[in-house]
Structure 1
Amino acid sequence: MTDTLPPPAHKPARPFFSSGPCAKPPGWSPDKLNTESLGRSHRSKIGKARLQLCIDLMREVLQVPDTHRIGIVPGSDTGAVEMAMWTMLGARPVTTIAWESFGEGWVTDALKQLKLDPTIIRADYGQLPDLGQVDWSHDVVFTWNGTTSGVRVPNGDWIAADREGLAIADATSAVFAQDIAWDKVDVLTFSWQKVLGGEGAHGVLILGPRAVERMENHTPEWPLPKVFRLVSKGKLAEGVFKGETINTPSMLAVEDAIFALEWGKSLGGLQALRARADANAAALDAIVQERGWLGHLASDPATRSNTSVCLTVEGADEVMIKTMAKLLEEQDAAYDIAGYRDAPPGLRIWCGATVETADIEALGPWLDWAYASARR
């Protein structure tokens, strides 16, 4: 018996399956980015125009209604969520919902940093909590798609239309791939590094009318850092939502996001991007169904993510998962597919729109090879 197994002959053409930063759009290369704004002030005419274009494209592709404002903010999705929590919470009771690590982070913010004594609704990895428990007289903070568990909310039906509190959704791995009920969301956040395959460090904050009203009529009890301040003299700082960012953005990252948005628009917009993610998730599910040693961490297909798909591996511990991931990376067959460090040991494979279905299909034999090799 040899020490190593022969690897499969055919590799994924683009083995980028990381769940953030995610694969670049097909056809991307640095020389395709517009560079006119680079080396210029973000306050210059060209700088502001490119930032505004990025906002306009996000609105168009995501089909965000005119009632909602879109701003580019610092600190990636984390910064956008914390900006919302620190500026808006405290006016009424708070509920935080967590079924994976990022949702748990917002629990920590509300409980230990803002000291709000929130109602906490939890579920284990792979499960979705009973959303019927939510009291909509509270402000509610939740992840639309649990990036580290592969569990998403199926829709916005559980959010009360006559809610008194705000619905604050961290949707960084859901936008551009899943339906967002804009009439049910008061605050939504994401970052370009996920479904667009953009660069990190910048977040997007989308505010509905009820969120703006809250900000203009509620003064938090705690001090706010400058990068969180969205209100001046009792009014929303409207410039932030017209490309006048609070701090200096990377215009290179902005141009990269514009490229991805224009790519998505050229395919047919939101419907086409969702269809690509669905096709990728279906191809991966077919691989899982054909293998007794692979399973879905998210047991219910109705709440299973079509972007951050988390898989269980029979008999695997953390060491085995790292071994599999290392073997695949060394062969340039799959990059960065080990599950999140706080999640149960397993694999996590990004199926968002920037991934090609053929590459997902080519991954199956490589998973077989890595599993057999790691067990040996």
Structure 2
Amino acid sequence: MSAMLVTPQAPHELPSLQSQSADTELRQRKASAAAVAAVAVAVDQVEAEYDNEQRAKEGKPLMGRLKDGRQFEVPSTPDMLTSIFDPRQPKTPLDILTLVSLGLQIVTYFVTSRQQAQAFFLVYFLFWRAAYNAGLGWVLNAQSTKGWLVSFVESRGWLDQDKCPKIREWIKQQLETKMRSDYDFEALPNEYNIWLLFRSIVDVILLNDFVAYSLFAFSCTRLPEGHSGWAHIGRWALGWTLIAFNAWVKLDAHRVVKDYAWYWGDCFFLCLQQLVFDGVYNLAPDPMYSIGYAGYYGLSLCSASYAVFFVSLAAHFSQFLFLQLFESPHIARTYGEGSSVAAWARKVAERIRKKLC
């Protein structure tokens, strides 16, 4: 009976069924392997964050991780304003360049006429703003997506003792002068040292951008005719309040994210830690780019200049372009999260829901 139940098609169908079964099993194995790998990565990240929290409580340096999985102790970084402007602190060539460029701006402001100063500082500010938004934006995007800056430095041998000993020694001296006693140039990976050098270049751009904008606003300052004394006092009071608020936003944001995030360290390496986004981060999404530019409009009020106001609008808009074209995609690539604007909106919605319920 069993022999009679076997049809002529059976010998041909059996291999096909076996092949389908094998394909299904292979897909299941791949899916299982991918799931296990994802879980392993997640567990590893949580454990690393927990270890870093424990190290921070014990006063030990945090651990950084490179893309290839290597880990290293992250040294503490000095305060930017103190290291550059405190005469008791040793100065690097880039610090001296920063101080000289700022000093020349101030001298130019006092030796030129108001009209000349307005034209010069408008162009000069736009140059540094472009260096920030377009220049740094391009470099950071290339580093985030392809590791371009690290590859560029390494391909030219600037940190190689055999290929470029003089350049390597200059970079080493620059960084050792800047850093504290827990810094060891030789023991740290190239990614970290290149980030430190990049950080010094960012300082040159940020400070020149700030001073150029301020001097442009000062050169445009006027007292509008027909306004009462109380109107001037009210305008200045509101303007300086916005400037003071701007300063608080920047300082509090830096307190939360510290130098690692302030200078886009996660484009170079990961420092796994649980940041507590309190303070100014409860007020607005991306506070460094949104309400962190309130000082633009405060100085526009103090100067009573439409030119300053429209330049401020353009500069602030370019900062939002920087956020949307580089920062948000970089955060999504690095952490797999949505934009902070969406996260903030969800947080506000959750607060409203709790109050209503």
How high is the TM-score relative to the length of structure 2?
A: 0.24
Higher relative contact order (CA 8 A, sep 6+): 1
Higher helix content, 1 or 2: 2
Higher CA-based Rg: 2
How high is the TM-score relative to the length of structure 1?
A: 0.23
